[in-house]
Amino acid sequence: MKKITIYHPFGNANTRAAVDGIYKQGILESFHTCIACFKGSFLYKLSSFGPLKEFRRRCFSSFLKDKTITHPFKEFGRQIAPKIKLNSLTAHEKGIFCVDNICYDLDHKIAKYVQKNNEKIGGVYAYEDLALQTFYTAKKYNIKCLYDLPIGYWRAMRSLLNEERTKNPEWAITLGGFNDSNKKLQRKDEELKLADKIYVASSFTKKTLEIYPGKLANIEVIPYGFPPVNTQRKYDEIQNRKIKVLFVGGLSQRKGLSYFFEAIEGLEDKIEATVVGRGNMETCPALKEALSKVNYIPSLPHDEILKLMANQDLFIFPSLFEGFGLVITEAMSQGTPVITTDRTCGPDIMHNGIDGWVVKAGETKPIRDLLVTFISNPSILIKTGQAAMHTAAQRPWSVYEKELAESVNKFLND
């Protein structure tokens, strides 16, 4: 049976699920990351102290320990540089410890690993910005190249967000996504060209690839899973109080922030809005003014965000360009219904009007109309929140693990 090498510098939720599933399928050759700790290990014990708590987030399933190879040097540098005020070391694409250099460094290390161990590797599973050198090497040895694109295609993003720049110029400075060099963008295109199989987590991400200037391999949509459902969720009486509305995410117009604020404007006597996320308010007066009118929390630990979600009546996530949107599944798992757009995972995981609402991206009126409906009939939110929990219970992360691993196995060994 052919086995696969998979790697990611940081090990986010979807990567963890992918690695666990591939291991359980019996086809994991090795997993590579920058920093990994396992329960009971020395690093795990160290991560209980102050500034080292960040490493607790790099804890992986214990059964992966013998299959995991770490490459920590540059990632340690990235963690330390801001703490000692050396931010230039992590500057976008230029700093020695920036995310781009960490990705390219890991890519080169895996390429060397594949060259050395090519006889026992049947495939490599790589993520965007991490694949080029490894794919070049894999091709030399007829090793299959599997590619995971976690966010939409860059040409589609620029096209859609350029429209938004014109439409809402006062928010344009928050958009981001336009500072990647041509070299980096060409690298993304070359990675896609080399891929033998492409995985995405939403139909929207797949759709963005339609404008790729060339022929692509088969693209398969496998939505991510939901966190554990909050079975202790209790719904307070909602009839005689303000509806509690929440947004969580980066404070960028890419997340559709202006549409969130426009939708709730003038409803302050009926709605209590909370926003959680980081952003540069000083460079965007519109953002600064909007945040002054809501409960604003710059940052919360992940477990506290889940608790906050479970204490809200409605989650609004009007993103303009999203590969998936994990906050959507998190809110639903907490029994909080979600309004989101057709440029997120919403169409793939929701039944519109039953366990949430999917509206057209870049429009305020559909969100506003729903809010007015909820103000008149708030019990809809309870019914929909309960349905959202039911949906979440049907697709835990273990389902994503199994579906992805079975697809990978079939592609490698069929």
Q: Residues 12-48, buried b or exposed e (16+ Cβ, 10 A)?
A: ebbbbbbbbbbbebebbbbbbbbbbbbeeeebbeebe
- Which is higher by pLDDT, 80 or 53? 80
What average pLDDT does this structure show over 157-181?
91
Residue 282 pLDDT > 90, yes or no? no
d(Cα 1, Cα 27) in Å, to the nearest integer? 7
**What pLDDT is recorded for position 53?**
66
CATH of 4-225+397-413, picked from 3.30.1370.10, 3.30.300.30, 3.30.110.40, 3.40.50.2000, is 3.40.50.2000
The two three-digit tokens of residue 56, written as one number:
């607790």
Mean confidence (pLDDT) of the chain: 94
Residue of 299, 326, 327 lying closest to 312 (CA atoms): 327
Task: Confirm if 154 and 185 have CB atoms less than 8 A apart.
Answer: yes
H-assigned helices in 195-256: 203-208
Is residue 48 very low, low, confident or very high in pLDDT (cuts 50, 70, 90)? Answer: low
Whether residue 46 has pLDDT greater than 90: no
Neighbours of 195 (CB within 10 A): 22
Q: Is the pLDDT of residue 37 over 90?
A: no
User: How confident is the model at residue 114, as a pLDDT?
Assistant: 98
Helix (H, G, I), strand (E, B) or coil at 30: strand
Residue 15's pLDDT is 95
Check pLDDT > 70 for residue 139. Answer: yes
Average pLDDT of span 273-298? 94
Residues of the chain with CATH 3.40.50.2000: 4-225+397-413, 243-394
| CA distances for 409 relative to 14, 133, 353, angstroms | 18, 23, 36
Name the residue among 18, 48, 43 with its Cα closest to residue 32: 18
User: Residues 6 or more apart from 290 whose CB is under 8 A from it?
Assistant: 257, 258, 261
Does residue 7 surpass a pLDDT of 90? yes
pLDDT in tens, 21-32: 999 999 999 999
Please tell me the distance from the alpha carbon of residue 27 to that of residue 16, in angstroms, as a whole number.
15
Distance CA 88, CA 202 (A): 35
pLDDT at 52: 63
Residue pLDDT, tens place only, 322-339:
999 999 999 999 999 999
Kindly indicate the confidence band of residue 177, based on its pLDDT and cuts at 50, 70 and 90. confident
CB within 8 A of 37, min separation 6: which ones? 43, 44, 47, 55, 56, 58, 59, 60
Q: What is the pLDDT of residue 49?
A: 65
pLDDT at 77 over 90: no
Report the C-alpha gap between 28 and 22 in whole angstroms: 6
Do 344 and 322 form a contact (C-beta atoms < 8 A)?
Answer: yes
Length of the chain: 414
**pLDDT-above-90 percentage for the chain:** 85
Q: Which CATH number fits domain 243-394: 3.90.170.10, 3.40.50.2000, 3.40.1390.10, 3.40.50.720?
A: 3.40.50.2000
> What would the pLDDT profile of 202-246 be if each residue is shown by its tens digit?
999 999 999 999 999 999 999 999 999 999 999 988 888 999 999
In this structure, what token pair is assigned to residue 333?
A: 């798992």
Residue 82 banded pLDDT, cuts 50, 70, 90: confident
User: How much is the pTM?
Assistant: 0.94
